[in-house]
Homo-oligomer: A and B are copies of this chain.
Amino acid sequence: MPRSKGPAQPPAETGPAAARHLPEATLVRLTQYLRALTELREAGRARASSEVLAEAAGVNSAILRKDLSLLGSYGTRGVGYETEVLAQRITECLGLTHEWRVSIIGAGNLGRALSGYGGFRNRGFSVVALFDASPDLIGRDVNGLRVANVAFLEDVLTFTRTNMAVLAVPGPVAQGLVDRVVRVGVRSILSFAPVVLQVPEGVTLRKVDLATELQILAYHAQQAAHADPERS
């Protein structure tokens, strides 16, 4: 903090775990930095400059430095960042020291794909339950989990101490499930259902929508075709 305004007043951090209210765009990039740092560490690099890190994360170095400065001063001028220290710091900020217990609702193709996704088990996420409504699926073993009956959703969520829910169900039933999940205290939901969902204050909902992604690609492809009408 090289500049003091008026009477010296250190910025009153409540400790190294501070950093309130990170911008949404920064959060997305922090996860990328974390991945890049993991790769660099596996490659044996103890230090990296903002330039190197930015390259590995696929962003420019100015925004990387700006993002990291929001977490506090964790680099060394003239040298760079220590990969281990920085990775630890980002992990802390993102709340990944906490253990997150994820339940997946919907054991169709997508739900099964998610339950087997390796990225979950890393970094403090563990899948603790998988639900479905279909008698054909209930009781079956999927990636080491027994598919539970969604009729018992509330009991199982409570018993497993679930604190994150992933919805991989058809649109029409999604809102009802959101309501049930919220009622037993889950406050973080990731939905793959292509519908608008309402959640009360204090509950975070994120959506992934495959149709939206394709439609945006279509737009850009069409634009490119306008500029250069060649390959369809």
Interface residues of A (CB under 8 A from B): 20-22, 24, 27-28, 30-32, 34-36, 56-58, 93-96, 98, 100, 102, 108-110, 112-114, 116-117, 119-120, 122-125, 161, 163-164, 185, 187-190, 194-198, 202, 204, 206, 208-225, 228, 231-232
CA distance A57 to B122 in the complex (A): 35
CB of A210, distance to nearest CB on chain B (Å): 6
**A187-B32 contact in complex given A113-B113, A194-B119, A206-B213, C-beta closer than 8 Å:** no
Among all A-B residue pairs, the 5 with the closest Cβ atoms: A95-B222, A109-B113, A58-B196, A119-B211, A188-B217
| Identical copies of this chain, number | 2
Report whether A210 and B27 are in contact in the complex, using a CB–CB cutoff of 8 Å. Answer: no
Residues of B within 8 A of A27 (CB): 215-216, 219
Q: Which of B114, B122, B215 contacts A94 (CB 8 A)?
A: B215
Report whether B120 and A187 are in contact in the complex, using a CB–CB cutoff of 8 Å. Answer: no
24 CB contacts below 8 A, A to B, read A21-B223, A30-B215, A31-B209, A31-B211, A35-B211, A36-B196, A56-B196, A58-B198, A94-B222, A96-B215, A109-B112, A119-B194, A119-B211, A120-B211, A123-B211, A123-B215, A161-B232, A188-B218, A190-B213, A202-B224, A204-B220, A204-B221, A204-B224, A208-B213
